[in-house]
Amino acid sequence: MLLTGFILLCGPFQPLKASESIAYHVRQEVTVYVTNTGSKYHRGGCGYLSRSKISISKKKAVAAGYGTCSRCRP
Ligand SMILES: [Zn+2]
């Protein structure tokens, strides 16, 4: 009984769950931040975000013509 339960819990199901989790993270959009006046997009902690901080997906930021910040390199 105990051995059967162990196989069910730790058996062939765990690797499947792990790969699903990785695929889920890959599909996530990266969020970056832009300012009202700047033409670059930044990571959340960048010092250039002191005046304004607008969250936007990286894909949209690139599509809108924003460039990569040379200081935080998002
Ligand atoms: Zn930056």
If you measure from the C-alpha of residue 65 to the centroid of ligand 1, how many angstroms do you get, rounded to a whole number? 15
Residue spans of the domains in the chain: they are 2-68
Distance 64 CA to ligand 1 centre (A): 17
Q: Is the pLDDT of residue 18 over 80?
A: no
The secondary structure of 3-50 as a DSSP string is HHHHHHHHSTHHHHHHHHHHHHHHHSPPEEEE-SS-SEEB-TT-GGGG
The pTM of the full predicted model, rounded to 2 decimals, is 0.62
Helix (H, G, I), strand (E, B) or coil at 64: coil
Q: Quick: pLDDT tens for 29-74.
A: 899 999 999 999 999 999 999 889 999 999 999 999 999 999 999 9
